[in-house]
Structure formats: structure tokens, C-alpha cells
Amino acid sequence: MQQGPLAAKDKNYLSRVIPYNQSSSQLTEEDKMGLEARFQRMKEEGYIGAFKSVDILEGFTEEDIWEIFSTIVNELDALQTDKKGGKSVELELYFDITNGFRFFPMLMFSLINYVSAVQNCKLKQVLYGNYDAGMAVRQEALGKLSEEQKAELRQQAVEAPIQILTNIVELNQWTEAVEMFTKSADAYSLNKLLKDSVNVSEKKLGEELFALTEAVKTCRGKELTQKLKLKETKKRIQSLKMDSSGGMKKQLKPLLNKIESKINNFNSKTTENGFAAVEWCIQHGMVQQGYTFLQETLISWLIEQTYNLSQIDDKHLRDIAKSALRQNNLYDKNGKKGTINFCYKNTYWYPFTREQVKDKANDLTNNRKKYRGLDSAFLEITSERLGGLRNDINHSGYNKKAGSAKVLTQELQNLSNRILQIIQPSYK
């Protein structure tokens, strides 16, 4: 990309600008070669496949800046599209921001983030030839030389050190990745960045955070309560915060507090993680997942409190626990309702005898009654309100009493607060 029809293309691309204190006769043919000639030689030697010069505007107006943006994006899109209209492999981007007006690097940094997000591009390097630094080195050297040596040095081209500024763009990517995790509950970008780390603990952290967000997104309650070692993840963060070996990515360390705060409510392998997932869903507008977690975690919680965590995925025991949350009695006065008949009415077969169902239902119901207020709260929440609201969402509101999005969102918060207030003592 050449900025400005005269300054860059004529003096840098087609030829090389001659220093003010040198004459053309003092320069070799190599010295006079512009970028075009150098790219052509690289092509002939097999280092590159092809190259192309594209003129862009100076960018003196907002309209010009957007035109520069569009030109570059369109060129990248054309490179990615093959003759059949499909997409090619990932493009690797190298930016040299030495030449051009001073706003241009700022535009490039924004453009890099844009194309990385919407196109199949990956930044490899951002390079800058620091002419001023080279001049400073020369001035320091001139002060130590004789007049003859000074004259000889002045005839030589300034050696501008090449600085790699890729980390500036990467820092912005890290910030955005953590923001996506903390504000949108999406660990994809963070995990992608941590995968490139040489630090095993950093890689592991990325994998664990990604597993957590995917488990919540897809309502994997069993993974949250029995598989994911979230307590170890929190310990890993603490260990990384205290790491002084220098092997850790410097841009990650200041961000660990935000990550730690985000997963603070998740603990050891208990149903408490299910309720933490409900709060996570409320924070991020995942209303459907929130209702699912709330109802299913309630059932798991009652089984965990009555028996143990290992039995929470027993389908038939869950049926009995669900009924125990809905029914006050094992039988009603007429013997037609209650937990026992509810279980047998809603299953085609049962591995338990009626007596076994009665014993388990009795255990679960009595345990529920240990928590003051559960008799009325669970009946109202699980049967009439929570189940109905969850069904309202799952059936896309196709019923006569469908709630609005605002009502469904607010009711999830209200129900969660009420339930947590009742059951919180069970985790102390």
C-alpha cells in the first residue's frame, strides 16, 4: 500500500530517495533500488509468489480515511477469494508503518482488529523503521570522531533500527478477549490466545475457562457439578498471579483479577455450581439456560442433600425428587394423587417397587421440609411458576398466556433470589 501519489510511490516504491548530502554517483545500483525492484528480485528468487502496488488517498478528510479502509479491506477480500468464489487459506498480514502520515499507524491498528474479526486473516508482524533513533545513534557517534571520520560517516546512509510493534496490537486483542469473557461469557478468544503460550499453566487456564463457558451455554449441569475442577482453576489463577519466573505473558497478569472475580461463585464439585450458573445466566441475558439450570439444579440439590452427589443423574430418582418438590403428600385423601401416583402415572416403567418409591419419596419430602418455607415456596415456584415459565420459553411463547421478554427476564431474577435465600444455609 502506497500513501500519497508523490511522496511514497515515487521516492520509496519506484526508486529510493537520495539523502540530501549524497549524490547519485556515490550510490550503488543496490542503494538506488526502490521497493518495486526489491520485490521483483524476491519474486525471481522464489521468496514471494506475487506482489502488487495499490494507490491510496492521503487521508486528509474523513471520507478519504474511509476510502483507505475500504481499499485495503477489498484487496484482502480479493486475495482470499479463489476463481470459483470460495475462500482460500488464512492470510498472514505484515504491516510496515515506517512511511506515510502519522495518523496512518492508528488506522492500521484499528484495521488489523477489524480484518482479524471479520476476515480469515492473522497478524504476523507490525514493523517500524525508527529513523529518529538511527539519527540519535549517529549524532552520538559523531561526537567521538575526528573531522575526517565525521565527513566519511555523513556520507553513509542512516541505519534505522527495525522495531517490531506486534505486541501493541496483541495487547489490544488480549484486552478484548478478557472483555468478551467477563461481559459476554465467551472464552473462545481468550482460549485461542492462551493456546499460543509456552506456559503449560496458561494453556490449561484457557482450556478450563472455555470448558466452563461452553458448559453454561449448553446447560451441562453434570459437568459443572461433577466433572469440571473449578476449585483447581481458581487455585491456578492464584498461582499465576504469584508467578515471578518471567515465563508468564506480561499482558495476562494484570487481567487475572478480572477473570478471578468472574468465576468467584463457582467452587468445588457440588450443586452450588448449578446455582452459580443461574446467576451467570442472569448477568449475561441467557434467560432460557437460566430457567433450565434453576429447575434442574433444584432437583439435583434435593438429591444431593438427601443422598449424595453421585446419584443426581439417576433418571428415576430425579422423577421422584421432582414430584417431592411438587407434592406435599405421598398420597392424597382419595389415594389418586400425591408423589407415589404421580411417579407411576408419568413413567412407562419403574425399576423400584411402590414400597421403594414410597421410602425414597418420604426421604426426599422430609428433607425438603427441613428448610423453613420450602413447603409453600417450592410448590409455587416449581410447579406453577418456574415450570410454566420454562415451558413458555421452550415452546417459543405459543400459548395464550405467554409472557413478554421483560417479564421472563425479571421473573428469573426474582425466582433465583427467593430460592437462594431459602437453600443457602445448606452450603454452610
The CA distance from 206 to 327, in Å, is 44
Residue 267 located in a structural domain: no
pTM: 0.73
Residue 291 located in a structural domain: yes
The CA distance from 360 to 346, in Å, is 17
Question: Do 254 and 290 fall into the same domain?
Answer: no
Question: Do 233 and 362 fall into the same domain?
Answer: no
Question: Do 331 and 374 fall into the same domain?
Answer: yes
Domain count, the chain: 3
Residues in Cβ contact with 321 at an 8 Å cutoff, skipping those fewer than 6 apart: 299, 302, 303, 306, 364
Question: Do 34 and 146 fall into the same domain?
Answer: yes
The CA distance from 250 to 201, in Å, is 14
Question: Do 136 and 195 fall into the same domain?
Answer: no
Q: Of 209, 235, 262, which residue is a domain's last? A: 262
**Closest to 325 in 3D by CA, of 296, 370, 365, 287:** 365
Residue 255 located in a structural domain: yes
Domain assignment of residue 147, given as a range: 2-166
Q: Report the pLDDT value the prediction gives residue 306, as an integer from 0 to 100.
A: 92
Q: Report the pLDDT value the prediction gives residue 83, as an integer from 0 to 100.
A: 45
Question: Do 162 and 174 fall into the same domain?
Answer: no
Residue 352 located in a structural domain: yes
Question: Do 347 and 420 fall into the same domain?
Answer: yes
Parallel/antiparallel/unpaired status of strands 91-96 and 55-56:
unpaired
Question: Do 405 and 347 fall into the same domain?
Answer: yes
Q: Of 131, 166, 201, which residue is a domain's last? A: 166
Question: Do 228 and 333 fall into the same domain?
Answer: no
Q: How many CA atoms lie within 13 A of 385 on its CB side?
A: 18
Q: Report the pLDDT value the prediction gives residue 87, as an integer from 0 to 100.
A: 57
Question: Do 314 and 421 fall into the same domain?
Answer: yes
Residue 234 located in a structural domain: yes
Question: Do 182 and 145 fall into the same domain?
Answer: no
Q: Report the pLDDT value the prediction gives residue 75, as an integer from 0 to 100.
A: 86
Q: Report the pLDDT value the prediction gives residue 22, as an integer from 0 to 100.
A: 54
Question: Do 245 and 294 fall into the same domain?
Answer: no
Residue 8 located in a structural domain: yes
Positions of the chain with pLDDT lower than 50, given as ranges: 2-5, 20, 83-84, 348
Query: In angstroms, what CA-CA distances link 331 with 36, 302, 303, 358?
Result: 90, 20, 21, 10
274 within 8 A of 297, measured Cβ to Cβ: yes
Residue 143 located in a structural domain: yes
